[in-house]
Amino acid sequence: MKPYIQDIINNLIIILAAFYIGRKQERRSFFYLKSSLIFILICIIRYLYFNKIVGLFATNLRLFMIMCGFILLIFMFILEVMASLKLSFWSATFLVSVGYCLQHLSQRIYAYSTSFLSDDSLAIFYYLIYAGIIIIVGSIFYLLLKKLNIDYIDVKNKSVIAIGLFTIISTIVLNMLFIRYIGDGEDGLILAFNLTMVIMTLLLILYEMTILKSNNIERERDNIKEILIKDREQYIYEKSIIELLNIKIHDLKHISDNISNDEKENVSKEMSDAITTYDSIIRTSNPALDVVLTRSNFRCKEKNIYYTFMVDSDSLSFLSEIDTYSLFGNILDNAIEAVDKINEKDKRVIDIKISKKNCFVTIHEENYFTGEIKFLDGLPQTSKKNKELHGYGLKSIQSIVSKYKGSIDIKTQKDRFVLSIIFPVEQ
């Protein structure tokens, strides 16, 4: 394989791997044009540097210049990622470091595999071997990413990335030293070196992906915690509004009982509006459930959505007020958002049932939806563009269900969305 072709392939592996890992991140304007032009520029600089400039230096300095060239190449790829995706320097460094690890892994396996070919082997064998290695390594990495379910890149631990970058630079230095001093050594020594490089690279990839997954879990936990805090504040506010409305109705009734017939006409409209609002308030034996059902009832009336519920509110006594509000608030908010997109009047319906049987409390919610719902790990994925800012309502529901050792099942039946939650409770 001609060196310049192999260099282009290696460059492609690095940048394509980086972009694939960061595929769900927000892109900058002119993404394809910008990334393509920068990539071409990097290939040209790489060719000129290693084939023209390095040769100008004395032999004892060439090794050092080659090392510097590879380190410079890494930073050029980091700049390309930053110019193409809206990421910090450290997050871009992470993507490039993983891309480099995959390229280096493929390169080491290729170097060892082709060492068995004779000098007169056809060039097509080299291309086929490298293509096969890239496909196998890429497929394994794809399965790893799918397993880890990483959808957002936000690396804040600079020391972790610094360690990864140092390890990459170390592999570059070791590789150059090996080629310079032991390049034509015994086959056993070459095999040991290649295996060592492969193991180091694999460990680094696993380490970096584990750190990223850990960061994503921590970020999700923080976002869910923030949602619960906002739900607490919203619950206190809405509960106070309902209490004020009750006071106002009581005052209006008192005024109505103590004024003349002529004066009653002046307050009749205010009284009528207040009574209409008051009639929308849902009253159960559970104050938190009253607040969230009342709020949803107001929203449904405003959007002309038919809203039915059958609840055994006493069965929810094991839930705290905030968890009750947050759980049903997220369930109903998601349902209202889905139904509001439907034009058919007979499908603008939300049905929720809460019941207790023996040692189990069951929550069942159904609503129609339009479009397609994709599931991942049992949860529907948000259809909104900024996935890192949305999709936490159902994760908040899942968090509360887990807190009380319950189970959740979400499925679709044609154009109906069905959510079922079961909580075990003491008799």
Q: What would the pLDDT profile of 357-403 be if each residue is shown by its tens digit?
A: 888 999 999 999 988 777 766 677 665 554 444 356 777 888 888 88
Whole-angstrom CA distances from 169 to 55, 66, 80, 342 are: 22, 12, 19, 56
Instruction: Find out whether 3 and 100 touch, Cβ atoms under 8 Å.
Output: no
- Rounded Cα distance between 178 and 176, Å, is 5
Higher pLDDT, 216 or 367: 367
3 state SS of 185: coil
Q: Specify the DSSP class assigned to residue 381.
A: P
Residue-wise pLDDT for 339-361, tens only, equals 999 988 889 999 989 888 888 99
25-34 contacts, C-beta under 8 A, 24 or more apart: 25/85, 25/86, 25/87, 25/152, 25/153, 26/85, 26/86, 26/386, 27/84, 27/85, 27/86, 28/83, 28/84, 28/85, 28/86, 31/84, 31/85, 34/83, 34/84
Torsion of CA 272, 277, 279, 281, to 10 degrees: -160
- Would you place residue 140 in the very low, low, confident or very high pLDDT band (cuts 50, 70, 90)? confident
pLDDT interval class at 159 (50, 70, 90)? low
Check pLDDT > 70 for residue 227.
no
pLDDT at 389: 41
Q: Kindly tell me if the per-residue pLDDT of 39 is higher than 90.
A: yes
Which stretch of 15-29, 166-180, 279-293 has the lowest confidence by average pLDDT?
A: 166-180
Quick one: pLDDT at residue 212? 67
Domain with CATH 3.30.565.10 in the chain: 281-424
CATH code linked to domain 281-424: 3.30.565.10
Specify the range with the lowest mean pLDDT, choosing from 15-29, 52-66, 147-161, 302-316. Answer: 147-161
Q: Is residue 107 scored above 50 in pLDDT?
A: yes
Q: What is the pLDDT of residue 367?
A: 92
Summarize the confidence of residues 397-415 as an average pLDDT.
Answer: 87
Q: From CA 395, how far away is CA 408, in angstroms rounded?
A: 11
Mean pLDDT of all residues in 11-32: 87
The single residue listed with the structure tokens 């696993």 is 206
More confident residue, 229 or 43: 43
State the pLDDT at residue 388.
Answer: 45
